[in-house]
Amino acid sequence: MKRMMIAAILTLAAALPAAAQSQGTATADFVGLDGKQAGRATLTEGKAGVLIEMEVSGLPSNRWVAFHIHESSRCDHTHGFESAGGHFNPTKAEHGFLAAKGPHAGDMPNQYVDQDGKLHAQVFNGMVSLNGKNGIRGRTLMIHADSDDYRSQPVGGAGKRLACAVIQ
């Protein structure tokens, strides 16, 4: 009996490295301006970047909206998510895929919201990781009211912040 228990403990210990591998994934729950949950993203780290898969609802229908990683770790809806800070920009680049000295690591393509106000997206960001130097764990995903023009400074004319999610 004692031997079986030791075997069980050894099996648990062997499972620990697999748990460490789950550091390669993260989740982020979106909050809307009303403070209620608006959706969720799952993030998976690959060799060359991070895949973000998400579903968010309650957005303005039939339009393109900006989608970024912001640098700070708080989504305070009572102050329009200003608490999330500016774009994640570890290389001190300019904002925008089409800017001469861009982009920010946190820049990502605009996303389309369907007629029900829902956004379904899968986005790969090759400029970030989950942990380490360009790590985005503890930072925020942000969806804006307007589309990003990919050029103008510092935020591409993205407008109001509508939904925010802390990556954890």
Least distance CB 27 / Cu ion (angstroms): 20
Q: Residue from 142, 162, 163, 167 that binds Cu ion (CB under 5 A)?
A: 142
Beta bridge mates, 112:
64
Residue 104 is a binding residue for Cu ion (CB under 5 A): no
| Amino acid in position 112 | Y
Q: Residue from 43, 68, 69, 113 that binds Cu ion (CB under 5 A)?
A: 68
Least distance CB 14 / Cu ion (angstroms): 43
> From CA 128, how far away is CA 132, in angstroms rounded?
9
Window contacting Cu ion (CB under 5 A); options: 32-40, 63-71, 110-118, 130-138? 63-71
Least distance CB 88 / Cu ion (angstroms): 10
User: Which residue number, 24 or 151, has a Cβ lying nearer to Cu ion?
Assistant: 151
CA distances from 40 to 26, 100, 147, 162, 167 (A): 11, 33, 21, 14, 10
User: Which residue number, 104 or 137, has a Cβ lying nearer to Cu ion?
Assistant: 104
> From CA 45, how far away is CA 15, in angstroms rounded?
20
The number of beta carbons lying within 10 Å of the beta carbon of residue 135 is 17
CA distances from 157 to 58, 67, 114, 125 (A): 21, 12, 21, 21
Please count the residues of this chain forming the interface with Cu ion, following the rule CB under 5 A.
2
Q: Which residues of this chain interact with Cu ion, rule CB under 5 A?
A: 68, 142
